[in-house]
Structure 1
Amino acid sequence: MIVLVTLGVRALMSLAPGSIAEVVLGESATAENVAALEQELGLDRPFFVQYFDWATNAVQGDLGTSLITHMSVSESILQRLPVTLELAVLALVIAMGVAVPLAVLSAAFPNSILDRVINAVTSVFLSIPAFVAGPILVFVFAVQLGMLPALGWIPIGTDLGGNLRSALLPAVAVALTEIAAFHRVLRADLIGTLREDYVAAARAKGMRPGYVMFRHAFRPSSFSLLTISGLSLARLIGGTIIVEALFVLPGLGQLISGAIIQRDVITVQGVVTIIAVAFVVINMLVDVGYGIIDPRVRNSARRAKKKAIAPVKAVPA
């Protein structure tokens, strides 16, 4: 997947009009100067030769050097990744912290007035994109109430409280859509699980509704929630470009957007590689999480492994 993604990015960037050399030299550059710089940078070589050279260095941890800023792409990513990662994780925590209680309430009282009100509120969240929610939150909490800063970023090592204050509004703007998605998925799974026979048996034994909900129904209903939360985290790492630009945050979003405008192929490819690796790693962690949540997954995997390595018995003629 990583190879296909990086190949696609390289191909798309090469389809754009003009060349990187023209961007570096400026509009007054002559054709001879452009050709000389392309030869110096190796841009006149075949497409797959350029990609293979980059991939060989990337496997060794070297994502190249920016053709525009002449900075190491790896260093640029390491400087900006903590901002994007903190924003994505904080948004996911907020979404889970709000969506799970709402889903439990909706599943405990399905089709009630409370359930309908919660569904209406989450539908509003789902219909408001981040670039609309961001200005609304800034107007309410920064301009009118003065509770939180509107723009800027304070590093976590400088001031923890100031860092959380500067990250809260953009994180909430990103989390609103995730709240709606998490709520709907978990609500549907919980309602289905609560109709199972073993849940009815637990209720017949006189167990408390809260105990039945969280002891018997919640864990088997959280598979879909685990899946979409992992995918959401991976998507948020690379999908906060608009929010970062809106709140002036020095994250990966600003780095890749500026690199695309400047035709900085090396920087774009390095950032996309990190995002693709994040998708792969998070998907692997989600698969591991299935076994932690439900031991039946681990047991079935062990049985399948034993069956695969078991010697084949001779069948009598």
Structure 2
Amino acid sequence: MWSNVLRRVGYALLVIVIVTIGVRGLMSLAPGSIAEVILGEAATPENVAALNSELGLDRPFFVQYFDWALNAVQGDLGVSPISHASVTDAIFQRLPVTLELAVLALAIALLVAIPLAVISASMPNSAVDRAINAVTAVFLSIPAFVAGPVLIYIFAVHLRVLPALGWVPVADGLGPNLRSALLPAIAVALVEIAAFHRVLRADLIGTLREDFVAAARAKGMTRGYVLFRHAFRPSSFSLLTISGLSLARLIGGTIIVEALFVLPGLGQLISTSIMQRDVITVQGVVTFIAVAFVVINMLVDIGYGLIDPRVRRAPGKKRRRAAPASAPAPTEPTPLQDQKEAVSA
């Protein structure tokens, strides 16, 4: 067990190192420099070289990276040469906006996708199923930067029921806060709705064809009871996985939406920092997002144990005593066998 945990932590650290090196390398390839941004258009080459030397940007690439990494391990992601503010403080000031947007988008996607998937799976290849598939196909093909302006025109300009731009903090009221976050959350959630619906629909259709479901129906159980009590849980593993990964991706993938709706989140921070060649801030934000992605991915693995008892008891159970040569070796119960035993009980 502990070896597995250590291996996962090692992989996570490797991913973070690769991501941060890649980001710093890409920023170094971009035209211009942060010294030119600070000094402006009237900067001379001598002044730029002097400021680069003062900021330590004239040192070798890996020397700069290792100095930054040593401070980052201690929780110090650096200070922005543009704003002279702590990168860590800037991240935590803007994190609530991005986190609320990502969680709200994920909640909307799940609340819409799960009922649609259940309806589709209960009536496969029917007119209703085909209509739902067509709608989700449209959602899947519309990126957020296209859905955003369309939603603004419909709900803000035409209907005038939601604000088009800006952000209202929770401290100013939960209602106004949710109204300001709803349109960008929907724009982000559309693609997630389509992905969640397709995955859960396919898993539910496969589960409903199993023998233990037929046995449950033969015992007189209602269709809805069988669907939610016996078929939904074993069909939700893939949904759990992509939900966790979607949340991690949304935390770092709302740059365009935050810029479109003028939201003061991490996306706006990183886009502004890229334009200003602020490599310290960009690297700090990307590091934070990479850590969040890895941590959420590990929490998804832990979540398997909450919906599958076999995952919880497998590490703690002692191994069975070896069977005699003449007796057949015991086999581990399959998920379907577990469900059949539950139905029989």
* Alignment TM-score, normalising by the size of structure 2: 0.87
Query: C-alpha displacement at 1:102, in angstroms?
Result: 0.3
Q: 1:36 is matched with which residue: 47, 50, 69?
A: 50
Residue number in structure 1 paired with 2:31: 17
**Matched AA of 2:108:** I
The whole-number CA distance in structure 2 between the counterparts of 1:270 and 1:214 is 44
Alignment pair present for 1:184 and 2:198: yes
Alignment pair present for 1:298 and 2:312: yes
Query: C-alpha displacement at 1:301, in angstroms?
Result: 3.2
Residue number in structure 1 paired with 2:102: 88
Q: Which runs of 5+ in 1 are unaligned?
A: 311-317
Alignment pair present for 1:277 and 2:306: no
The whole-number CA distance in structure 2 between the counterparts of 1:198 and 1:128 is 39
Query: C-alpha displacement at 1:18, in angstroms?
Result: 2.7
Q: Is contact 2:207-2:234 (8 Å) kept?
A: yes
The whole-number CA distance in structure 2 between the counterparts of 1:238 and 1:62 is 20
Query: C-alpha displacement at 1:302, in angstroms?
Result: 3.2
Query: C-alpha displacement at 1:46, in angstroms?
Result: 1.2
Q: What do you get for the CA RMSD once the two structures are aligned?
A: 1.2
The whole-number CA distance in structure 1 between the counterparts of 2:29 and 2:157 is 44
Alignment pair present for 1:215 and 2:229: yes
Residue deviations 1:113-151, cap 9 Å, x none?
A: 111111111111111111111111111111111111111
The whole-number CA distance in structure 2 between the counterparts of 1:253 and 1:299 is 41
Q: Which runs of 5+ in 2 are unaligned?
A: 1-14, 322-345
What is the SS of the residue equivalent to 2:41?
coil
Q: Is contact 2:32-2:277 (8 Å) kept?
A: no
1:234-273 matches, cutoff 5 A: 234-273=248-287
Alignment pair present for 1:159 and 2:173: yes
Moved over 3 A (4+): none
Is the deviation greater in 252-261 or in 11-20? 11-20
The whole-number CA distance in structure 1 between the counterparts of 2:205 and 2:283 is 44
Q: 2:131 is matched with which residue: 107, 117, 124?
A: 117
The whole-number CA distance in structure 2 between the counterparts of 1:299 and 1:203 is 29
Residue number in structure 2 paired with 1:64: 78
The whole-number CA distance in structure 1 between the counterparts of 2:217 and 2:316 is 33
Query: C-alpha displacement at 1:33, in angstroms?
Result: 1.4
**Matched AA of 1:91:** A
Query: C-alpha displacement at 1:20, in angstroms?
Result: 1.9
The whole-number CA distance in structure 2 between the counterparts of 1:186 and 1:111 is 15
Alignment pair present for 1:8 and 2:22: yes
What is the SS of the residue equivalent to 1:27?
coil
Q: 1:168 is matched with which residue: 182, 187, 195?
A: 182
* Alignment TM-score, normalising by the size of structure 1: 0.94
What is the SS of the residue equivalent to 2:234?
coil
Query: C-alpha displacement at 1:200, in angstroms?
Result: 1.1
The whole-number CA distance in structure 2 between the counterparts of 1:233 and 1:250 is 19
The whole-number CA distance in structure 2 between the counterparts of 1:186 and 1:235 is 19
- Percent same amino acid at aligned positions? 80
Query: C-alpha displacement at 1:238, in angstroms?
Result: 0.6
Residue number in structure 2 paired with 1:314: none
Residue number in structure 2 paired with 1:287: 301
Query: C-alpha displacement at 1:300, in angstroms?
Result: 2.8
The whole-number CA distance in structure 1 between the counterparts of 2:315 and 2:17 is 29
The whole-number CA distance in structure 1 between the counterparts of 2:271 and 2:284 is 13
